[in-house]
Structure 1
Amino acid sequence: MERALTVLQVSLYHPTPGLVTFAKVPLRLQHDTSRLLVGRGQDAHIQLQLPQLSRHHLSLEPYLEKGSNLLAFCLKVLSRKSCVWVNGLPLRYLEQVPLSAVNRISFSGIQMVVRRDGGSSLETFVCYFHFSSSPLIYRPKAQETDEWENVLKKETPPVSGEATRDLLGSPQGSSHTQTAVPSQALEEQQK
């Protein structure tokens, strides 16, 4: 008796004209339960044609949850140089997160929506790829960045025993510690 495969429906979007970015992505990919590599490398299972991507940018890793006989997946970031956003959560190098039934993933301008349909096979799963001509994820552009935010953590000492005011106008004395002040705001405060 053949067991039903777990199916990942993967929708992809990138703003480049045409489908050059996804030229080497198959329409269907059947895979065993080893990790599924995404990146620009020749050995990536999902090979994306973008020079800013790492050879192995991220992986989708199947596993069995305790007490379950269905495949579950986690996403693991393999790139040292950029951030991957999964359902609004930023992940850095070697961080991972379990995937739910529907997941919104973005990295290096690529938007990917992964939908998981359960199956009973524990040896293989199949991915179907769809390419979108319009964005899949709508959110403010400032939320996604590939650079660490320039944040200065500094303890502000009181000025000759007097209470000073923080950036929001609240009084702060010797017991108040100001942390995570953006450097531009700190420079303006010190002028």
Structure 2
Amino acid sequence: MERALTVLHVSLHHPTRDLDAFAKVPAQLQHDTSPLLVGRGPDAHLRLLLPHLSRRHLSLEPYREEGSALLTFCLKALSRKGCVWVNGLTLRFLEQVPLSVVNRVAFSGIQMVVRVEGGTSLEAFACCFHLSPSPLIHRPQAEETDEWESTSQEQPPPRPRL
């Protein structure tokens, strides 16, 4: 009886639409439970040929939580120069964050959405890659306000009398 693999559905977008950058991206990849490397180096499993990308920029790392029969994943930043944005958090070198079912990731101009579809196999997982012609993530810029200044000048409410 064959055990179902956990599948990572990975959508990728880069604003330059440089198809050469994605020339080494396979449509599908089956991987053991070692970390899946993303970068421009020859040892990267997901190889993206962009000059500002580190040879080993990040990794998707499968693990099994104690008492669980399912693979879960964390994303680890491996670049000493760049950072990785994951679901609103900024990761620096060797910082990691557990992945949820749907994850929004940005690094070196690349937008990536990783959707985790659980399976029962603990020996391997699969990745399906999709190149998106349109942006995947909308991150509005923080707006500057003087809200703090106006609230700090207000008088505190009167204390109730006992």
TM-score under structure 2 length normalisation: 0.86
Once the two structures are TM-superposed, the CA of residue 140 in structure 1 deviates from its matched residue by: 2.3
* Count of aligned residue pairs for this structure pair: 148
Q: Which residue of 1 aligns with 2:51?
A: 51
Q: Which residue of 2 aligns with 1:90?
A: 90
Q: Confirm or deny that 1:111 pairs with 2:111.
A: yes
Once the two structures are TM-superposed, the CA of residue 141 in structure 1 deviates from its matched residue by: 5.2
* 3-state SS, counterpart of residue 12 of structure 1: strand
1:9-34 deviations in Å (ceiling 9; x for gaps): 00000011342221101000000000
For structure 2, the residue ranges without an aligned partner over 5 or more in a row are 154-162
Higher relative contact order (CA closer than 8 Å, sequence separation 6+): 2
1:55-86 deviations in Å (ceiling 9; x for gaps): 00000000001211000000000001011000
Q: Which residue of 1 aligns with 2:158?
A: none
* 3-state SS, counterpart of residue 8 of structure 2: strand
Q: Which residue of 2 aligns with 1:81?
A: 81
Tell which structure's C-alpha radius of gyration is larger.
1
Q: Structure 1 pair 136/67, CA: closer, same or farther in 2 (3 Å)?
A: same
For structure 1, the residue ranges without an aligned partner over 5 or more in a row are 144-166, 172-191
Q: Which residue of 1 aligns with 2:24?
A: 24
Once the two structures are superposed, the pairs formed by residues 165-180 of structure 1 within 5 Å of their partners are 168=149
Q: Which amino acid aligns with 2:52?
A: Q
Q: Structure 1 pair 37/49, CA: closer, same or farther in 2 (3 Å)?
A: same
2: CA distance between counterparts of 1:83 and 1:135?
19
2: CA distance between counterparts of 1:137 and 1:15?
12
* 3-state SS, counterpart of residue 104 of structure 2: strand
Q: How much identity, in percent, do the aligned residues show?
A: 72
* 3-state SS, counterpart of residue 62 of structure 1: strand
Q: Structure 1 pair 141/16, CA: closer, same or farther in 2 (3 Å)?
A: farther
